[in-house]
Chain A
Amino acid sequence: EVQLVQSGAEVKKPGESLKISCKGSGYSFTSYWIGWVRQMPGKGLEWMGIIYPGDSDTRYSPSFQGQVTISADKSISTAYLQWSSLKASDTAMYYCARHSKMATIEADFDYWGQGTLVTVSS
């Protein structure tokens, strides 16, 4: 069974750093692109970027380029989303999701993590 299990909720202060995780299981982790999606409170879904764990090829939305870093550790089947200096506007639910087709960048998301709520407040 394919599963994406995300790390737990975080409460941080502005300026702090953070790295959240998404662990894949039940499939070949290195063979499918994994993406990150932001959902701010009461708002829609925003595509942040994707990574191919097999070679760490990464693509970012221009809206998020330079604001976050997406990485993966294929040895432990885990993708990451990190911030070096959080802002209050980073408060949101963050989902990871897997592309549906092996080694294909043009694909929909067929499996989703449960979400990680990040709250940034002084």
Chain B
Amino acid sequence: AIRITQSPSSLSASTGDRVTITCRASQGISSYLAWYQQKPGKAPKLLIYAASTLQSGVPSRFSGSGSGTDFTLTISCLQSEDFATYYCQQYYSYPQDFGQGTRLEIK
């Protein structure tokens, strides 16, 4: 199985900051990576697929990059509604596992 290592596990930031979350796959997964946002008590929401394609309706301050084994999610100017937990997921092969999650908290 492909291992996905997501970092950091938690992050404190302020409104207006730029933050970056990374995911590393144990072997190459091309661009078969998605990013999700989850708020407490809610189902996850798809933000980015194919490593860098923004899902319809997602604000442009979210962006993704990378291919192969190393990927990043960047939020360019944090808004209050962005404080949540973020997960990456590889769907190159099954099990199509998720990263461990990054909890983004208000500083």
Contact = CB atoms under 8 A, between A and B. Distances in A.
Contacts, number: 64
Contact of A110 (B46, B87, B96): B46
Contact of B55 (A37, A97, A106, A110): A110
B44 A44 contact: no
A95 B43 contact: yes
Contact of B44 (A95, A105, A107): A95
Contact of B43 (A44, A59, A61, A112): A112
A61 B89 contact: no
A108 interface: yes
Give the interface residue-count category, chain A: 20 to 34
Contacts of A50: 94, 96
B47 to A, nearest CB: 10
Contacts of A59: 94
B95 A47 contact: yes
A26 interface: no
B7 interface: no
Contacts of A110: 46, 49, 55
Contacts of B95: 47, 49, 60-63
A23 to B, nearest CB: 15
A100 interface: yes
B49 A44 contact: no
A105 B43 CA distance: 21
27 contacts: A37-B44, A44-B99, A45-B38, A45-B98, A47-B94, A47-B98, A50-B94, A61-B94, A61-B95, A61-B97, A62-B1, A63-B95, A95-B43, A97-B43, A97-B44, A105-B94, A106-B91, A108-B46, A108-B49, A108-B91, A109-B36, A110-B46, A110-B49, A112-B44, A112-B45, A114-B43, A115-B43
Given A62-B1, A95-B44, A106-B92, 5 more contacts: A44-B101, A45-B38, A61-B94, A106-B91, A109-B46
